[in-house]
């Protein structure tokens, strides 16, 4: 799971580096999503955009650490779906933390054309979070798997 999170983070950071080189002077229109370079000092929906950069970095660092600890603690008992969901959350969080640590902002490059500009790490975080919610409501999860009696046990 940690390797999967690292792959998610590396993919996002690689695309961000590409976007900074290629999209510096241009935008690419592509239908529902355009490629447009932007930089955000805040987090989701520009929350914290006016806060000092070190505060945003510290808060995102704490959140990333909490997700990493949760992944580390649940990894032995987590099934494949939970592992993928948590790895997506962690990979996105780590990518954003590394990107923000470099210059105080995150690099956005996907523009919806109507309001949102975001990046792949945001997508990993949102989809990983949604998957965790769905898995929680469907009754699957590390704790439930651990608490189930073994086959043939009474």
Other CB atoms within a 10 A radius of the CB of residue 44 amount to: 13
Asked if residues 21 and 103 have their Cβ atoms less than 8 Å apart, the reply is no
Residue linked to tokens 């580390």 = 72
Q: Which of 25, 99, 108, 147 is catalytic?
A: 108
Contact indicator for 134, 84 with CB cutoff of 8 Å: no
Catalytic residue check, 108: yes
- The catalytic residue among 12, 99, 103, 122 is 122
Catalytic residue flag (residue 122): yes
Tell me the residue ranges of DSSP E strands in the chain. 34-40, 106-111, 117-118
C-alpha to C-alpha distance for 150 and 11, rounded to whole angstroms: 39
- Provide the annotated active-site residues: 108, 122
């Amino acid at each position: 799971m940690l390797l999967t999170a690292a792959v998610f983070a590396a993919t996002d950071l690689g695309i961000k580096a590409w976007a900074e080189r290629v999209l510096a002077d241009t935008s690419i229109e592509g239908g529902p999503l355009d490629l447009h370079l932007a930089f955000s000092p805040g987090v989701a929906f520009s929350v914290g955009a006016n806060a000092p950069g070190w505060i945003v970095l510290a808060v995102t660092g704490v959140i990333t650490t909490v997700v990493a600890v949760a992944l580390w603690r649940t990894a032995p008992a987590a099934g494949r779906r939970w592992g993928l969901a948590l790895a997506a959350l962690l990979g996105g969080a780590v990518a954003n933390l590394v990107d923000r640590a470099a210059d105080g902002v995150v690099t956005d490059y996907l523009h919806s054309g109507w309001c949102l500009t975001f990046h792949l790490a945001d997508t990993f975080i949102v989809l990983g979070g949604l998957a965790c919610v769905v898995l929680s409501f469907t009754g699957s999860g590390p704790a439930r798997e651990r608490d189930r009696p073994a086959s043939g046990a009474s």
